[in-house]
Amino acid sequence: MAEQLGIVGVGNMGGPMANRLIDAGHRVTVYDIREEVMAPLIARGAERATSSRAVADATDIVFFSLPAPDDVRGEALGSSGVVAGKRAKIFVDLSTTGPRTTAQVVAGLAAKGIATVDAPVSGGVAGAVKGTLAVMASGPRALVTRLEPILGIFGKVFFIGEQPGMGQVMKLANNLLSATAMAVTAEAMVMGVKAGLDPKLMLDVINSGTGRNTATETKFPQQILPRRFAQGFATGLMYKDVRLCLEEAEALQVPMQVGNAVRNLWRLADSVRGSQSDFTEIVRCLEDQVGVEVGSRR
């Protein structure tokens, strides 16, 4: 009999990943605190659970896609969490929580005989929909190998290492670079527009030169110039990821002067635009300060 899979957290990222598992023919049980995000999956045949514990009662492998470390700890180790389930023996965390949270969850679940793979993902909502995410897996090599056919449904699987939390460190490094590209591109673009440059022409030049990055190639032309601001990733989550990265660097005694500046700018965006705003709205913080708009010129 095929293994039953469960997903806790079926929002912007977890929802598309659950859909891909259903498309691949897997039997899936879902749980989220929001009924409205579970409904489309249940309509496709997914089973509805009422708690993380209920997911672990009904499935062999439980995946998490949750926004914050506290959410992961609570839903994994709480009284209604995976640790209290009767069936699941494998836990896979697709969230971004930092290695210290991973260590706590690994220890707590291991005491109940549940093995953990730490497998944060990168590639955004579009990558989750298309199955082109980068999956950064760490944990026992044999277990990662066993899970690779399933993880491969989400995208390209990279084995980061056997030590719990190594995938988290990789993800934090990746997101620091992504956050930096977004923040510094916003500064450069606002400066250029303030000086009278055409923002579309600026992007054309930058993307033909050495300054190109993920922000200039996709986020600015697709979201900021047309004033959509709908990339699908919250400002508060980006700030959280940068903060976790800097905390890990501090714990490792690795100085991050640029990283500290990036954290400050994302803290400002989180405060001014709000945690639930799309993270591309960081440019609006700078626009408001100098009285310009980085938008397409008609």
pLDDT digits (tens, 9 = 90+) for 192-230: 999 999 999 999 999 999 999 999 999 999 999 999 999
Look at residue 295 and give its three-state secondary structure: coil
Cβ(82)–Cβ(66) under 8 Å?
no
Q: Where are the beta strands (DSSP E) in 24-79?
A: 28-31, 47-48, 61-64
- Does the pLDDT of residue 297 top 80, yes or no? no
| Over residues 75-88, mean pLDDT | 97
Q: What are the sequence ranges of the domains in the chain?
A: 5-163, 169-290
Distance, in Å, from the CA atom of 181 to the CA atom of 163, rounded to the nearest integer, reads 29
| Backbone conformation region of residue 139, classed left if phi is above 0, alpha if psi is from -120 to 50, else beta | left
Fold of 169-290: N-(1-d-carboxylethyl)-l-norvaline Dehydrogenase; domain 2 (1.10.1040)
Confidence of residue 296 (pLDDT cuts 50, 70, 90): confident
Largest CA distance in the chain: 65
pLDDT tens digit string along 225-249?
999 999 999 999 999 999 999 999 9
What CATH number does domain 5-163 carry, 3.40.50.720, 3.30.470.20, 3.10.129.10, 3.40.190.10? Answer: 3.40.50.720
Cβ(109)–Cβ(78) under 8 Å?
no
pLDDT tens digit string along 1-28?
478 999 999 999 999 999 999 999 999 9
Residue in 281, 269, 294, 273 with CA at minimum distance from that of residue 191: 294
Cβ(189)–Cβ(202) under 8 Å?
yes
Would you state the structure tokens that stand for residue 195, as one six-digit string?
């000086």
Confidence of residue 185 (pLDDT cuts 50, 70, 90): very high
For all residues of the chain together, what is the average pLDDT? 96
pTM of the full structure: 0.93
Distance, in Å, from the CA atom of 159 to the CA atom of 279, rounded to the nearest integer, reads 29
| DSSP-derived pairing of the beta strands 133-138 and 121-122 | antiparallel
Total Cβ atoms within 10 A of residue 185: 26
Give the per-residue pLDDT at 124: 92
Confidence of residue 106 (pLDDT cuts 50, 70, 90): very high
Using a 10 angstrom Cβ sphere, with 0-12 exposed, 13-18 middle and 19 or more buried, the burial of residue 194 is: middle
Q: How many alpha carbons lie under 13 Å from residue 250 in its C-beta half-sphere? A: 10
Cβ(63)–Cβ(7) under 8 Å?
yes
Q: Output the CA–CA distances (angstroms, integers) from residue 162 to 90, 102, 159, 290, in the order listed.
A: 15, 13, 8, 49
Q: Which residue has 């929580």 as its token pair?
A: 97
What percent of the chain is modeled with pLDDT above 70?
Answer: 99
Residue type, 30: V
Catalytic residue set: 171
Cβ(13)–Cβ(125) under 8 Å?
yes
**Helices 257-273 and 282-290, axial angle in degrees (round to 10):** 80
Distance, in Å, from the CA atom of 180 to the CA atom of 182, rounded to the nearest integer, reads 5
Give the per-residue pLDDT at 298: 55
Give the per-residue pLDDT at 171: 97
Distance, in Å, from the CA atom of 90 to the CA atom of 110, rounded to the nearest integer, reads 10
Look at residue 80 and give its three-state secondary structure: coil
